[in-house]
């Protein structure tokens, strides 16, 4: 291994004591490949196993905590105990290759396709239609329903523990329900769950508290709890960088094991809310990195890209599309073969790359989504 890359292979310990063998993680990516009943397919399991050997931790695609939170066709479920064997199959396959297995848990809220949820009943913090898709305007959740969804995040955490996962990642990013409660665009409520910035933070923080409570009650050994968030929204009104700094200050007090920034470009800069010419991730790391580890991510295709990002001081880096393009990314760097890393998708290599057909079709039919796909 080239000595300059060796820091990427230092071990790392989360605040709860769980140790990772290196600083490289597989990012959560939707794969559209589960069965209609919410169970994982063999192709999906093989896809994860193929990418679990080099990285120290795998964060799965998101799984819905309630039936009306299903956000994608082919998404696997975790909303009932009947799905624990399916979850166990996935966790076991990841762990067998030497990586920690973390289940990403979420509710799609107003971004759910109507045909994916019972009776097409789309729900959100308020009845404000999304600008990101053509779905109908959602129904505003009642106070009781809000409490039930919070409890469902806890129940899904219990199922993750029983299925053998090493942790959960609370998906508070990408415009889904947790973010919808935090956003002034989607949350126009006038009760305790909306209004001021502090009230818009109430739902995300309540989910964290419930997940932590269930973890303390059911986990017999240290269990990772992380939180993923998007720093800003394009909508007006929408989440600004200033809002996010307030949120992560509050999250940093919750004794989480990590905060995971959701970005397409690691080096992207704030759009509004603060005057700072540094990257969002550098600002976030400076703000809370002394209290909770920050995971950076975003178009880090080559080993040089990754080591440059690591130089910001962020302790962990996630690879997403990079591991679809080249499942052996981490091993190649570790074995001094970083120049052999594939950085553009070979569109004739589906079988070699072990990518399920639904995901493969989505990739090759979406120009610009992956380098090499025109």
Residue 149 lies in a domain: yes
Q: In this predicted structure, what is the pLDDT of residue 77?
A: 98
Q: Which helix (H) or strand (E) holds 297?
A: strand 294-297
Per the CB < 8 A criterion, the answer to whether 168 and 160 are in contact is: yes
Residue 373 lies in a domain: no
What CA–CA distances, in Å, run from 261 to 84, 90, 181?
28, 24, 18
Task: Tell how strand 100-106 and strand 167-172 pair up.
Answer: parallel
Residue 239 lies in a domain: yes
Q: In this predicted structure, what is the pLDDT of residue 133?
A: 80
Q: In this predicted structure, what is the pLDDT of residue 368?
A: 92
Residue 358 lies in a domain: no
Residue 127 corresponds to which tokens in the numbers above?
A: 């009845």
Q: How far apart are CA 74 and CA 356, in angstroms?
A: 11
Q: How far apart are CA 278 and CA 285, in angstroms?
A: 11
Q: How far apart are CA 145 and CA 158, in angstroms?
A: 20
Q: How far apart are CA 353 and CA 111, in angstroms?
A: 30
Domain span at 173: 3-342
DSSP 8-class letter at 26: E
Residue 148 lies in a domain: yes
Q: How far apart are CA 81 and CA 15, in angstroms?
A: 29
Active site amino acids: 176
pLDDT tens for the chain, 374 residues long, are 899 999 999 999 999 999 999 999 999 999 999 999 999 999 999 999 999 999 999 999 999 999 999 999 999 999 999 999 999 999 999 999 999 999 999 999 999 999 999 999 999 999 999 998 867 899 999 999 999 999 999 999 999 999 999 999 999 999 999 999 999 999 999 999 999 999 999 999 999 999 999 999 999 999 999 999 999 999 999 999 999 999 999 999 999 999 999 999 999 999 999 999 999 999 999 999 999 999 999 999 999 999 999 999 999 999 999 999 999 999 999 999 999 999 999 999 999 999 999 999 999 999 999 999 98
Q: How far apart are CA 159 and CA 155, in angstroms?
A: 6
Q: Where are the alpha helices (DSSP H) in the chain?
A: 42-50, 84-96, 143-162, 177-182, 197-200, 202-218, 241-251, 280-288, 303-310, 321-325, 329-334, 350-353, 357-364
Per the CB < 8 A criterion, the answer to whether 34 and 74 are in contact is: yes
Residue 364 lies in a domain: no
CATH at residue 323: 3.20.20.70
Q: Considering the entire predicted model, what is its pTM?
A: 0.98
Q: How far apart are CA 77 and CA 35, in angstroms?
A: 9
Number of separate domains in the chain: 1
Per the CB < 8 A criterion, the answer to whether 195 and 233 are in contact is: no
Residue 363 lies in a domain: no
Q: In this predicted structure, what is the pLDDT of residue 136?
A: 83
First to last CA, the chain: 34
Residue 204 lies in a domain: yes
Q: In this predicted structure, what is the pLDDT of residue 327?
A: 98
Residue 301 corresponds to which tokens in the numbers above?
A: 């295709």
Q: How far apart are CA 149 and CA 162, in angstroms?
A: 20
């Amino acid at each position: 291994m080239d000595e300059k890359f060796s820091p990427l292979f230092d071990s790392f310990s989360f605040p709860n004591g769980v140790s990772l063998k290196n600083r490289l993680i597989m990012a959560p990516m939707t794969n559209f490949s589960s069965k209609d009943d919410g169970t994982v397919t063999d192709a999906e399991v093989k896809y994860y196993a193929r990418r679990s050997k080099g990285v120290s931790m795998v964060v799965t695609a998101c799984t819905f905590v309630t039936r009306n939170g299903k956000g994608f066709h082919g998404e696997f479920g975790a909303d009932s105990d009947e799905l624990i064997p399916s979850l166990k199959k996935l966790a076991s396959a990841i762990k067998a290759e030497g990586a920690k297995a973390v289940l990403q848990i979420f509710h799609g809220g107003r971004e759910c396709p109507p045909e994916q949820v019972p009776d097409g009943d789309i729900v959100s913090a308020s009845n404000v239609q999304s600008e990101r898709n053509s779905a109908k305007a959602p129904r505003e959740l009642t106070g009781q329903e809000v409490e039930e969804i919070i409890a469902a995040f806890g129940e899904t955490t219990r199922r993750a523990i029983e299925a053998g996962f090493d942790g959960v990642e609370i998906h508070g990013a990408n415009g889904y329900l947790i973010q919808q409660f935090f956003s002034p665009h989607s949350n126009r409520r006038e009760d305790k769950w909306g209004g001021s910035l502090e009230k818009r933070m109430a739902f995300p923080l309540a989910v964290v508290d419930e997940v932590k409570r269930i973890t303390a009650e059911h986990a017999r050994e240290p269990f990772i709890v992380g939180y993923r968030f998007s720093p800003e929204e394009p909508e007006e009104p929408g989440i600004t960088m200033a809002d996010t700094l307030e949120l992560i200050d509050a999250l940093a007090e919750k004794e989480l094991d990590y905060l995971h920034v959701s970005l397409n470009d690691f080096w992207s800069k704030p759009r509004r809310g603060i005057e700072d010419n540094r990257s969002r991730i550098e600002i976030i790391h400076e703000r809370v990195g002394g209290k909770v580890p920050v995971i950076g991510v975003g178009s880090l295709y080559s080993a040089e890209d990754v080591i440059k990002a690591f130089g910001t001081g962020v302790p962990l880096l996630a690879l997403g599309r990079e591991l679809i393009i080249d499942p052996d990314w981490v091993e190649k760097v570790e074995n001094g073969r970083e120049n052999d890393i594939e950085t553009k998708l070979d569109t004739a290599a589906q079988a070699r790359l072990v990518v399920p057909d639904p995901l493969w079709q989505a990739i090759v039919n979406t120009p610009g989504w992956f380098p090499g796909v025109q």
